[in-house]
Amino acid sequence: MSAPSSPLTTTAPPAPPPQPPTPASLLRLFMGVALVGIGGGLPAHTRRALNTRGWMTDAEFAEAFTLAQLTPGPNAVNLAAMIGARLSGQAGALLAVVGILTPGLIVMLAVTAFTLGVPGGLPGPLQSALRGAAAAALGVMLTAALPVLKVTAGIRGGPVLAGATFLALAWLHLDLLLVLAGVLTVGLVVHRPRSGE
Amino acid sequence: MTADPLDIFLTFTRLGLVSFGGANLPEIERVLVDQKHWITPQVLANGFALGQVMPGPNMLAMTHYGFAAGGWPGALAATLGFYGPTALLSALAILAWQRLSRWRWLPAVRSALLPFGAGVMLAGVLVLTRGSLHSWTGVLIAAAAFALLQGTRVNAAVVVIGAAALGALIGL
């Protein structure tokens, strides 16, 4: 990929420029991504980390990113599993997922054991703090939803189907799989591939 | 109240598999709050807020809910159930992608899934609103957080922690 004579890395002497990723190095990479990704932006951090190591091109990353959004589950974890699988097989996928989950898991377990384990409920100020945090989290959720809503607005039938999904889930409390099947069917009919396209 | 870890595992597996585009709060509320009575709307909102300030994926809230449902084994079962199967599916999907990318129905699937994801997100906003907004002060904090995040490059975790400090100070 780059000139072989002078490696840019300042590590051990016989280092070939882009060292191929090992499951262990993927574990380290994704733990790092998790730590800098407090408050979101994990895909962006993942891309930067892969870029600096020369392990994935932007096109390959975009492909994985799109796919991560189409598969069920949290995008950032899906992305880790995909990148791990592509770069280093089964062990790579496993350790990438472990890497992105571990730092947060440790903190979350500690905080959870404390907040849920207190007999008689949380002290007043702490509960107030959590209420404040929850209100702000709602704002975060709104900012995350906005880009999705914008893209949806540009899709044929998108606003109607999004609105129908919202009503079915929020008002009618219908089973999600039922709603998914219905919305997906209508969407597929609307967007069915035509010959010559 | 401690639920059976296997029940927790299977329930969270199902929740993971029906999450598109991140969290699926309406379904989480329907199953965990209304159906199983494992968590209260307050725990749902608290866990979601905590997830925002954790390193890594925001939906580590699942670990919080699992703990509420069944203590330490519950936390483990919920985490494995929510993240394991979906991660496996993702790894398989990327390996099958080369063939899928030539599939003529793929753009249609994408265009059909996106509005669904948008609807789920909107419903999630409503769920969070019910769980976390009990006062006009809360509404103001949510609006301020949204405005800050939209208008500046400030980190979301900073905003959430700041709101927590504010909440503690004014006794929300």
Q: Is the ipTM of this complex over 0.85?
A: no
What's the mean pLDDT in B122-135? 79
User: Contacts of residue B139 in chain A, CB cutoff 8 Å?
Assistant: 135
CA distance B15 to B32: 10
What's the mean pLDDT in A119-145? 81
User: Cβ separation of A180 and B18 shorter than 8 Å?
Assistant: yes
Identify the three-state secondary structure at position A40. Answer: coil
Instruction: Check if the beta carbon of residue A40 is closer than 8 Å to that of residue B55.
Output: no
User: Contacts of residue B151 in chain A, CB cutoff 8 Å?
Assistant: none
Contacts 24+ apart (CB under 8 A), A143-150: A143/B146, A143/B149, A143/B150, A143/B156, A144/A40, A144/B22, A144/B121, A145/B118, A145/B121, A145/B122, A145/B124, A145/B125, A146/B150, A148/B21, A148/B114, A148/B117, A148/B118, A148/B121, A149/B118, A149/B121, A149/B122
Rounded CA Rg of chain B: 18
* Smallest Cα distance from A24 to chain B, Å: 17
Instruction: Check if the beta carbon of residue B24 is closer than 8 Å to that of residue B122.
Output: no
Place of tokens 């919202």: A166
Q: What is the pTM of this model?
A: 0.76
Instruction: Check if the beta carbon of residue B144 is closer than 8 Å to that of residue B170.
Output: no
Q: Which residue would you say has higher pLDDT here, A126 or B44?
A: B44
User: Cβ separation of A132 and B157 shorter than 8 Å?
Assistant: no
Q: pLDDT confidence of A2, banded at 50, 70, 90?
A: very low
- Tell me the CA end-to-end span of chain A in Å, nearest whole number: 36
Residue in chain B closest to A126 (alpha carbons) equals B168
Q: Which of A136, A155, A169 sits opposite B119 (nearest CB)?
A: A169
Evaluate the CA torsion angle B42, B9, B59, A106 in order and state its sign.
positive
* pLDDT tens digits along A42-86: 877 888 888 888 998 877 887 787 778 778 888 889 999 999 999
Residue in chain A closest to B172 (alpha carbons) equals A128
| Phi, psi for residue B12 in degrees, rounded to 5 | -75, -30
CA distance B19 to B113: 12
Q: Which of B60, B104, B121 sits opposite A145 (nearest CB)?
A: B121
* pLDDT tens digits along B141-169: 999 999 998 888 887 778 888 998 998 89
B150 at A interface, C-beta within 8 A: yes
User: Cβ separation of B123 and A170 shorter than 8 Å?
Assistant: yes
User: Cβ separation of B57 and A133 shorter than 8 Å?
Assistant: no
What's the mean pLDDT in B33-42? 93
B contact residues 8-27, partner A, Cβ 8 Å cutoff: 16-24, 26-27
User: Cβ separation of A72 and B116 shorter than 8 Å?
Assistant: no
User: Cβ separation of B146 and A158 shorter than 8 Å?
Assistant: no
B103 at A interface, C-beta within 8 A: no
* Contacts (Cβ under 8 Å, ≥6 apart) of B80: B9
Q: pLDDT confidence of A9, banded at 50, 70, 90?
A: very low
CA distance A98 to A48: 19
User: Contacts of residue A190 in chain B, CB cutoff 8 Å?
Assistant: 111-112
* Smallest Cα distance from B109 to chain A, Å: 6
Would you give the DSSP letter of residue B105? T
CA distance B22 to A120: 33
